[in-house]
Amino acid sequence: MKNIQSIYWRLMVLLAMLVASMGVHAQINTEQVVNIGRNALYFEDYILAIQYFNQAIKAKPFLAEPYFYRSVAKISLEDYRGAELDAGMAIERNPFIVDAYQVRGVARQNQGNFEAAVEDYDAGLNLMPEDKNLLINRAVCETELKNYDEAQKTFERLLQLDRRNDRAYIGLAQMNLAKADTTAALENLNKSLSLSKNNAAAYVMRAEIATRSLHDFQSAVADMDSAILLEPHYAGYFINRAYMKYNIDDYFGAMADYDYALGLDPTSTEAHFNRGLLRAEVGDNNRAISDFNYVLKKDASNFMALYNRALLHLRTRQYRNAVNDFTAILKKYPNFEAGYMARAEAKRRMGDNKGSEADLEKAIAIFRRNKTHVSTFDPAEIEVAAAVKKAEQRALNRGKDEPETAEEIMERFNTLLTVKDMNPVKPEYANRQRGHIQNDNIEVEPLPMFTLSYFSKDNKLNGNTYYIREIGDINESRLLRGTLTLINGEHQLDEEEIQRNFANIDYYNSLIASSKPRSIDYFARGMEYMLVKNPDAAISDADVAIAMSPQFMLAYFMRANAHYMQYRMAQARDAQNVDLQADAPDNKSQAMLRLRQDATTLDLMIADLDQVIKLSPKNVYAHYNKGNCYMLQGDYTSAISCYTAAIEIKPDLAEAYYNRGLMYLRMGNKEMGVADLSKAGELGVLPSYNVLKRMSR
């Protein structure tokens, strides 16, 4: 729906030129904040803009404009749910903002709620009957709903206002294609291109018709060339052109396009899969396997990637890997005779004659049962047919309420957890706190624990600091050799800071040895041990401090942090121990022991956090950290409960919304997960928008 995307950009230009025509009569400070936010919008600093609008909303929650502008920022970040809610808040406060209906309509349209989008466009047209953007969006929605007569009337109404509207003809072509009238679609596309040569969507649609209906791949490539000239940074265009080049035997050109597509979007499974097929065809087997490895890492259920990799493993004499792949295939298709024969061959080459004979016997038994001497079963055909049927069904159901199942949401979210930032250095404007940050290829992981520290680490976007009353009290006592604070994550010490910490440890050693012992001194030394990554010593000091002062809440908090550091160190050691063989019985026992030790460490941390909450029930950070512990234990329901408790105490704790959103997605609850991530993004957690984009359908 490229025409809709162009509307977004036109809307952004309009918003940048908007003046106070909506009747803003707020105090000067609020006006100034809103104006600065609008300037940030104009320069595409969407995250920064949201923070300014947050301030305006907090100061004057009855104003419509900050909600409206915030909805624009969110729609630019593809947070469609958040944009819909904010536009709705703006409409509640001022029902005469035409652009608010358009923003909410676009947000609903991108969520597949076409009926509600039409209602918004109609409301906007009641206020401004000749708005071309509202008309074309409405017509596209009616097409999606298969209300073709109504869509036709809306397009005609638009063309009566503007006979040279090239986008209207693209919309008509889209409707023609939905009705399987390729002749009329081509006529409308040609008309659109005669009016404007600068709309990539028209070239792409015409190339699609040439490919699917006319099998004219040469002209399809020419049209894709034109689209790429207009939009050279869209990886999908290169993937499509590669397929067309392949069909005219331009293998070199196709390979170059797949490579370029992956340069633009290194996480594209489509490009990796297609390039793997092409590499296999030209005999570049090992690199083809690498491509299929990547696909399977992101989607372990991709049968076609598994099937192709199994054949390549056999071809490249990687027999153990071939056996593993064919075993997975035969688990899904136990009557696949050729699969047993291939696995038998791999086992024979490995010297496993007994296993090879067993597989051959299974294959022969299937041949006898089917009364044939050749393989008649092809799982690839079944998978392709199932994929085609699923795609056709989704096409038929477009515009209808067809939510994903919890299992589908969980599966898709779990694939996001392994995605790394494969292109951290980008040649273009790539400030990670500005612009379209939802397009960054970041690793998806929950936000870390809150920890005690002497080093501040404030959120640069929303300016929030993390405060516990007991921290203020202990700082006022001047009994520590630093100013205690709370941070989300850890501070990496430099060499000078490390030396200072060791000097402080020596100081407390001397103080404790020469003076009457005090719990605060053991706590202080424990903090220094924590900062130099000695959690065992920190726990010992916390034990003494707690024994001397059982009501010393911060000592429990520090000990919980130290237990978490122990847990992380154990995890790091396990990850580095690459020599362990999982099949060895002794190592299996060691692995079980380590799992029990990890569980015990987390239980000790939870016990300390429970004590913190008992002594300080409103300690929001203890509830949050406890949620992280349950998350690490795989108890997502309890984790959500803890994050909820934290949010009830501190409704602007962005970290709790973010982690709770991830837990909801992990459990398959997309609605709640998206709502929490939208709120977290609004409060300044940048990765929220990336997850929202990648979880959108």
Residues 6+ apart with CB under 8 A from 95: none
How much is the pLDDT for 13? 38
- For the chain, residues with pLDDT lower than 50 are 1-28, 399, 401, 418-435, 437, 441, 461, 576, 578-585
Distances (CA, A) of 139 to 175, 249, 330, 489: 9, 40, 49, 49
How much is the pLDDT for 437? 44
How much is the pLDDT for 274? 94
Cross-strand bridge partners of residue 451: 487
In a 13 Å sphere around the CA of 305, the CA atoms on its Cβ side amount to 23
SS3 33: helix
Please list the alpha-helical segments (H only) found in 248-302.
251-264, 269-281, 285-298
- Closest alpha carbon to 670 in 695, 641, 640: 695
Q: Which amino acid is at 33?
A: V
How much is the pLDDT for 696? 66
Domains of the chain, CATH where assigned: 1-162 (1.25.40.10), 318-396 (1.25.40), 450-650 (1.25.40.10)
Residues 6+ apart with CB under 8 A from 290: 276
Distance CA 47, CA 45 (A): 6
SS3 46: helix
Stated pTM of the model: 0.65
How much is the pLDDT for 322? 94
Distance CA 474, CA 643 (A): 27
Structure-token pair, residue 679: 């709120």
Structure-token pair, residue 219: 């002209």
How much is the pLDDT for 166? 92
Terminal-to-terminal C-alpha distance of the chain: 13
Distance CA 664, CA 672 (A): 6
Distance CA 110, CA 116 (A): 11
Is the distance from CB of 44 to CB of 37 less than 8 angstroms? no
Distance CA 477, CA 278 (A): 70
Q: Which amino acid is at 422?
A: M
Residues 6+ apart with CB under 8 A from 494: none
Is the distance from CB of 646 to CB of 620 less than 8 angstroms? yes
Is the distance from CB of 75 to CB of 8 less than 8 angstroms? yes
Distance CA 553, CA 550 (A): 8
Is the distance from CB of 658 to CB of 680 less than 8 angstroms? yes
Distance CA 504, CA 520 (A): 14
How much is the pLDDT for 21? 36
How much is the pLDDT for 661? 92
CA angle 215, 220, 225 (to 5 degrees): 165
Token pair 């162009």 is found at 6
Residues 6+ apart with CB under 8 A from 143: 151, 171, 174, 175, 178
Is the distance from CB of 623 to CB of 642 less than 8 angstroms? yes
Token pair 């808040």 is found at 89
